[in-house]
Structure formats: C-alpha cells, structure tokens
Amino acid sequence: MSRLLFPAAALLGIGVMLTPHAPAAQPAAEDTRLKNLFQSYLDEEFQKHPLFATQQGNHDFDDQLDDLSPEARAKDVARAKALVAALAKEIDVKKLSQDGRIDYGIWAHTLNYALWSAENDNRFEYDPRTYGEYISDSVFLLLTQSTLPRERIVENAAKRIKHIPKIVAAAKAGLKNPPAILTEVAIKRNIGAIAFYEKDIYEFAKETPGSEPLATPCKAAVEALKDYQTWLEKELLPKSKGEWRLGKEKFAKKLELELDAGLTADEVVKIAEAEADRVEREMYYVAKQLWSKLFPGKVLPPDDATGRHATIKAVLDELGKDHGKPETIVDDAKKTVSKIKDFIRERKILTLPDPDTCQIIAMPEFQRGFSAAYLNPAPPLDPKANSLYAVAPPPKDWPPARQATFFREYNSAMLQILTIHEAYPGHYVQLAYSNRNPSLVRKVLWSGSFAEGWAVYTEQMMLDQGYGDGDLSLRLHQLKFYIRAVLNAILDNKMHCANLTDDDAMKLLVGRGFQTEAEAVGKVARAKQSSTQLSTYFVGRTAFYRLRQDVQRKRGDTFNLGKFHEEVLSHGTLPVKYLPELVK
C-alpha cells in the first residue's frame, strides 16, 4: 500500500484562535475548538505543501509544488514545535469527548513523530527517492485521481511541471551522504520519470503527444531530469556511503512512534517468533493433504523438521507453476475481482462501496522497486476520485530466470490473496469506509498499522468464511502470505538492530518463509529502503485478530460478522490501540 506524506506541521492562522483567556468550554465546544484548530493547520499545510494538498483531495494548489529548500524545511520544523507547545496549553483534554480525546492524541502524536523524524531520520537528507515523489508522483496523481474537468487538470499539470527544476535543485542542496541502495533506486526511478515526461504523460492526460500546454514544460523538465540523472550517477552515487541501518536505539523509538500500539521492539520480535513457528506447523498440515494429489505414488518425506520443510517447499513449488505472464498480470488481477466481490456480497462479509471507484492499473516505471503492488486510495477531501490498485510486472532488466521466479511467487492462487489484501475487502474497501468518518484528523493522519493490519486480517478471514470452497492451494498460499507478514517484523528488527547480513536475511525468507529468490531479494532491498513499516502488517493483524476473538466471545450467539466489520471500519483509520475502547 502506498503511504501518504505528512509534512512537518504548520501554524499560520492558528494564532488568532489560540486566545490565552478563552472562556471555559463545554465538551462539544472543546471538540469544535479542536476541529477548528486542525482545519487551520490543514489550510496552512496545503498552502505551503501543495503535494500534500493534492494527496488529501484539496485542489486549490494543484498548479504549484513545495519549497523543499533546507531553509523552508527548517521553518516547517519551527512551526511544528510551536504548534505542539500551543496545543498542550490551549486544548483542555478533560473537556473533550471520547472521540475528541482520540483525535487530539492522534494529532499530537503525529506532530511529535514528525519532529523526531526531522531530527533523527530526515528523509530529505538521506533518501533521494523522496524528491521523486515531487518530480513524478505529484503530476501522476493529478492525471489519475483529480475529479476536476480534464482541461483544468492538464493546465494544472503543465504549471506544476514547471516547478520540477526547483525540486531538482533542492535535491542537490539537501541530500547528504545517503545509503547507496537508496541512490540506486532513485537512479532507476528517475529513468522512469524521464520516460514519463517524454512520452507516457500524454497518454495519461489524454492529449496528443507533443501538444501544448504540456510540451514546453515537459521539455524543460526532461532537460532538468537528464541533468539530475547525471548528477545522481556521477556525483551522488560515489558519495553515497551512508548507513541504512537505524541501529537498535533509533529503531526502537521509531517503531514505538510508527506503531503507536503500546508495544516495544523486543516484544514485537518475541511475539513474531512464536507466531512464525505456529504458522509453519499449520502450513505443513495443509501441504501434507496436498502431497498425494500432486505427487501420486511418491512417499511423503519424514515427519521431522527437515522433512516437514521439504514437504511444504515441494508442494509450493509445484503449485507455483500455475501463473501468468508479464503482459497479462494486470488482466489476471482484474479477473480475480468479480469472484471476490460476489463472495463478499453472498456471505455478507460487509457492504461494499457503491459506486466502485477502484481501478486496476500497471504500476508506472517510476514507482517500481519497492513492492509488487499498492493501493492508492481516493483522497479524503475528494472521496469520489478513483482509487488505484497498481500491480507491478517484474522489472524489464531482470533475466528470464529471475522473472520466472517472480511469477512462481505471484501465481494464480497468490494473486487472489493479493487482491483480497489490496482491494476487496482490504485496503480499497477499508479506506473507502474511512473517508466516511466525520473526523478530519483520522482521515488525514491515518495509521499504517490499522490499514495494513486490516488487510492482512481479511486474507485469513475470507478463507475461513468459505472463499475458494476449501481449495487447499489457496489456503496454503494464504498461510505463506501471512508468514511473510510475520517474518517482515523479524526481518525489520534484525536488519536494523542486529546487523543481519543479506545472506542470512535470504535464508530467513527463502528457508523459513518459502519465498522465491526474486521475492526474497526484493524484500531484503525493501528492508534497507524502509524501517519500521514492515512491522505494521503483523502488529496490526494481531490487534484485529485479538479484537475479533474477544468481541465474538463476549457477544456469543448475537455476534454478526458483517456488522462487526462495519463497526470496526466506521471509526476511521486510527491507531489500533484505540479499538478495544471503541468496539466493545
């Protein structure tokens, strides 16, 4: 799933409302006061960070781009510090309603997280990929998700593209000794960005190739990006000696901030290790039932650690032969959707969004290199816009053998699990529900642990309710997809805290996780490109699973699965630690 950008906080306009001698407010009034403060914060953020505005569905600044100079970013940090201090003084938390207290907690936590990141994990200094979001994603969003008239969208895009040389200049001024792997990914993505502005943009804009108003700014952008490409390759890459590992202390603090779930880094790993053992046992039980069908007459391996592992691997390898091709992967994903949606309706898993605005597309070249798929939801302030479920074919520069391993990983069964996770009833459905929640705080400052946790929870839930009619291949791949989420948390910790080598990481993913080489190589690279995000899947899923079990036990015969799901999703995409008090 794609992650939205949360720039450092802004303060403009809030000073008028932060009156030091305001009269005592009733709970409803204090909630309104908080709401107004947050709206003023957003108004300032949108003005100073046009990409953020576009991502949230505000189109007032679609023709502009952010000032990313070191000086501008320093002012962002100063405003954020002032706002944290002001909120603590001017909002009486005791007078807020339950929802108001939660919104206050989310906002204050987000501001503190942004300040910690600016000081300890500043992506504008160590991650060249960050500037790519402004270079290409900023315009791609306009052309694929804005609901403005097409002519206006094209005009805004043309004006926004004119700012790309400034983004390139900011990147050159801001980047300081990044890790080599991040620079390498940025180099590949920038090649995709050049191709986007040379050719692909006209297709997305539904304009004649080479026509105005896009042609002139695109030409200037391409010139700037080619110069940037040379700088990335010749100047930045040789100097990219930075350490991608966060280290134990920073990782522990960042994980606490990212998850906001009341768990420490050590606790997460301990729980994940035990769960990995349990899931592997369950995988063996399923694989053993498939053995005689796939290998008739062949003796089942011994029931010991080596034999159980061999059984699971042989069965998965055989099942993986049923897969598509690079040119069909998007159509293959589309074919899974109708069947999944019909099942959700028939079994009353929940009420699907109507109208359905989820589009399945091939992931653009300039966004590849991080994951095999993502869901970019309709923005909260423009909920009628399209949501994009993007699927990435294997990179074109991969040799045929490596491409083949990719498709053995994302075979016909796994593609169904992926669609459940990314779209129905996973990310697309959950975030569509989230956009209905009245809290602007929860719409904008959403929790990754909630979003990813829900998506992983739905994978098992769908099969438990009968999706696939007991297809053991589907169940084995669901378990494989889940153990991947469990191992993500272990990999995340050990790569950043325990100096886990690439070879040992591959052994963990290929050996314990039964991943193909191509998938494992990509995941090791992803662990280096991010920190703590890989832990959100397991921690979030654990929270949802435990909540479901607890609520179901307490409600007994009155428990209704569909109503439970809708109740859980009705509260917005908030930190999972709040769920037990909201869903009783």
Q: What is the DSSP string of 436-502?
A: TSS-HHHHHS--HHHHHHHHHHHHHHHHHTTTTTT-HHHHHHHHHHHHHHHHHHHHHHHHHHS---H
Q: Packing angle between helix 561-569 and helix 536-555, nearest 10 degrees?
A: 130
Q: Which conformational region is residue 499 in: left (phi greater than 0), alpha (psi within -120 to 50 degrees), or beta?
A: left
Strands (E), 133-192: none
Q: What is the pLDDT of residues 302-331, one digit of tens each?
A: 999 999 999 999 999 999 998 888 788 889
Is pLDDT above 80 for 98?
A: yes
Q: What is the pLDDT of residues 266-299, one digit of tens each?
A: 999 999 999 999 999 999 999 999 999 999 999 9
The pLDDT of residue 564 = 98
Which amino acid appears at position 487 of this protein? Answer: L
Q: How confident is the model at residue 370 (pLDDT cuts 50, 70, 90)?
A: low
Q: Which conformational region is residue 71 in: left (phi greater than 0), alpha (psi within -120 to 50 degrees), or beta?
A: alpha
Is pLDDT above 80 for 429?
A: yes
CB-side exposure of 427: number of CA atoms within 13 Å?
28
Q: Report the alpha-carbon distance of residue 537 to residue 514 in Å, rounded.
A: 18
**Residue whose entry in the numeric block shows the structure tokens 């997280």:** 113
Q: What is the pLDDT of residues 136-178, one digit of tens each?
A: 999 999 999 999 999 999 999 999 999 999 999 999 999 999 9
Dmax (CA) of the chain: 84
Q: What backbone phi and psi angles, to 5 degrees, belong to 5?
A: -85, 130
Average pLDDT, integer, range 198-214: 97
In sequence order, what DSSP letters do the residues of 113-155 get, joined into one string?
HHHHHHHH--HHHH-THHHHIIIIIHHHHHHHH--S-HHHHHH
The structure tokens listed for 537 are 């899947």
Is pLDDT above 50 for 393?
A: yes
DSSP, res 355: S
In sequence order, what DSSP letters do the residues of 9-22 get, joined into one string?
P--TTTTTT--TTP
The pLDDT of residue 5 = 33
Task: Name residue 389's beta-bridge partners.
Answer: 360, 375
Q: Report the alpha-carbon distance of residue 389 to residue 407 in Å, rounded.
A: 18
DSSP, res 435: T
The pLDDT of residue 12 = 27
The pLDDT of residue 504 = 98
Q: What is the pLDDT of residues 25-53, one digit of tens each?
A: 455 799 999 999 999 999 999 999 999 99
Q: Report the alpha-carbon distance of residue 200 to residue 214 in Å, rounded.
A: 12
The pLDDT of residue 16 = 27
Is pLDDT above 90 for 207?
A: yes
The pLDDT of residue 10 = 30
The structure tokens listed for 435 are 């956009």
Average pLDDT, integer, range 211-223: 98
Q: What is the pLDDT of residues 457-479, one digit of tens each?
A: 999 999 999 999 999 999 999 99
Q: Report the alpha-carbon distance of residue 495 to residue 552 in Å, rounded.
A: 37
Output the average pLDDT for the chain.
Answer: 92
CA dihedral 141, 422, 245, 228 (to 10 degrees): -20
Is pLDDT above 70 for 15?
A: no
Q: First vs last Cα of the chain: how many Å apart?
A: 29
The pLDDT of residue 244 = 97
Q: Where are the domains of the chain?
A: 27-239, 313-582
CA 165 vs CA 47, 67, 156: distances in Å: 20, 12, 16
Average pLDDT, integer, range 101-128: 97
Q: Is the pTM of this model over 0.85?
A: yes
The pLDDT of residue 242 = 97
Q: Report the alpha-carbon distance of residue 34 to residue 28 in Å, rounded.
A: 10
Q: What backbone phi and psi angles, to 5 degrees, belong to 347?
A: -90, 5
DSSP, res 301: P
DSSP 3-state assignment of 242? coil
Q: What backbone phi and psi angles, to 5 degrees, belong to 390?
A: -105, 130
Q: What share of the chain is helix, strand, coil (3-state, %, to 5)?
A: 65, 0, 30
